[in-house]
Amino acid sequence: MTTNPGPLAGLRVLEFASIGPGPHCAMLLADMGADVVRIEREGGNGWPNPVADRGRSVLVLDIRSEAGRARCLELAEQADVLIEGFRPGVMERLGLGPEVLRVRNPRLVYGRMTGWGQDGPLARAAGHDINYIALTGALAAIGGREGGAIPPLNLVGDFGGGSMFLAFGIMTALWERERSGQGQVVDAAIVDGVSSLMSFFAGGRLSLDRERNLLGGAAPHYRCYTCADGREIAIGPLEPQFYREFLERIEAPASLYEGRDDPANWAAHGQCLAELFATRTQAEWCALLEGSDACFAPVLTLDEVPQHAHLQARGVYQELDGMQQAAPAPRLSRTPGLARTSLRLEADAPVWGTRAG
């Protein structure tokens, strides 16, 4: 066990158990040394995840009871940050809303994670990642030339536009608190975060039309191909010099050297590459292309990822609780983070400083 306390050592975070982006944000803070106490109901939240739920001290409380509410108020008075992922108005009905808590603790940064946001016509409607990315234009751009849009797991909404923006908002509020001495409410809405992520496309010259979407799989030089063994590879030599090296290494037909950027040629070029890549296995293509400037990688399953030589060399995964888990990211040179197991506590036990190491 390292003695390095992490860059967020001493930061007290009170997390009300939810699903998806809230727990992920709390994991990010815990990995960086924050002392995270999770309030959980009996039986959990229905989505137990030993990876995303790591690094906490866990208290099981009935927050609808008078005793449970009193315990939450006590902990909130001592916390620097609160994270909750309920629908708008739920925490207020429980007597645990920001107006109440920030009177008792003016320095509290109150992080609220929702899909639609705290206000607006849809604020209290149910929804999931697929709905939020649909409304923000992200989903429409993801898919093949035929068929419907394809949900990209829940990476774009819940985590890209959700937990990452919640963590960013919390850290900006903490930075401002150093000057003002006052906390504030962080309204982290997935529709807001994904809209920010889409700024690259809204402000650029890239087409999001699926038949002309350079980064969405339409271009033959930025997509995946199936190999002789049924495994896939991913190529992305966008720059001319990388494209030329790619073609030279695979001994491509001369027809692929011209008209690369004209969508009228993409179907023919794609068919040519598909036939070529089907002649060798994934391992054979790795031996030929991996580590070059051809912009190449094998398509790996999640179970295979920790065994890849590059990720092993960087220590991207580590064993915790008998599982291979992604190590804390990003990496800090002087005060790196540390993934830790969680610790369940008795309801009336002291909490701060009891997180398992």
User: What pLDDT score does 2 carry?
Assistant: 44
Is the fold of 12-199+327-345 the same as that of 227-304?
A: no
Sort 205 into a burial class: Cβ within 10 Å, 0-12 / 13-18 / 19+: exposed
Asked whether residue 350 carries a pLDDT value surpassing 50, the answer given is yes
Asked whether residue 115 carries a pLDDT value surpassing 90, the answer given is yes
Query: Rounded to whole angstroms, how far apart are CA atoms 116 and 347?
Result: 33
Q: Which of 352, 356, 349 is nearest to 37 (CA)?
A: 352
Query: Rounded to whole angstroms, how far apart are CA atoms 256 and 266?
Result: 10
Domain 12-199+327-345: give its CATH code: 3.40.50.10540
The lowest-confidence range among 200-204, 231-235, 255-259 is: 200-204
User: What pLDDT score does 151 carry?
Assistant: 94
The domain limits of the chain are: 12-199+327-345, 227-304
pTM of the model: 0.93
Our answer to whether residue 221 is catalytic in this structure is no
- Angle, vertex CA 65, rays to CA 17 and CA 106, nearest 5: 65
pLDDT band at 354 (very low <50, low <70, confident <90, very high): low
pLDDT in tens, 65-90: 999 999 999 999 999 999 999 999 99
**In sequence order, what E strands does the chain have?**
12-16, 35-40, 56-60, 81-84, 109-114, 185-189, 223-226, 232-235, 296-298, 317-320, 323-326, 343-345
- Which member of 62, 128, 293, 308 is catalytic? 128
User: What pLDDT score does 3 carry?
Assistant: 54
Asked whether residue 1 carries a pLDDT value surpassing 60, the answer given is no
pLDDT in tens, 127-179: 999 999 999 999 999 987 778 899 999 999 999 999 999 999 999 999 999 99
Asked whether residue 106 carries a pLDDT value surpassing 90, the answer given is yes
Mean pLDDT of the chain: 94
Buried b (16+ CB within 10 A) or exposed e, 299-314: ebeeeeebebeebeee
Our answer to whether residue 158 is catalytic in this structure is yes
- Termini Cα distance of the chain: 7
The strand pair at 81-84 and 12-16 is best described as parallel
* Phi, psi (rounded to 5 degrees) for 51: -85, -60
- Which member of 129, 158, 187, 192 is catalytic? 158
pLDDT in tens, 286-345: 999 999 999 999 999 999 999 999 999 999 999 999 999 999 999 999 999 999 999 988
pLDDT in tens, 243-254: 999 999 999 999
Residue 136 near residue 194, CB atoms below 8 Å: yes
CB under 8 Å to 178, separation ≥6 — which residues? none
What CATH architecture is 227-304? 2-Layer Sandwich (3.30)
Which residues, in sequence order, are bridge partners of residue 189?
A: 114
User: What pLDDT score does 121 carry?
Assistant: 97
pLDDT in tens, 262-276: 999 999 999 999 999
pLDDT in tens, 33-77: 999 999 999 877 777 888 999 999 999 999 999 999 999 999 999
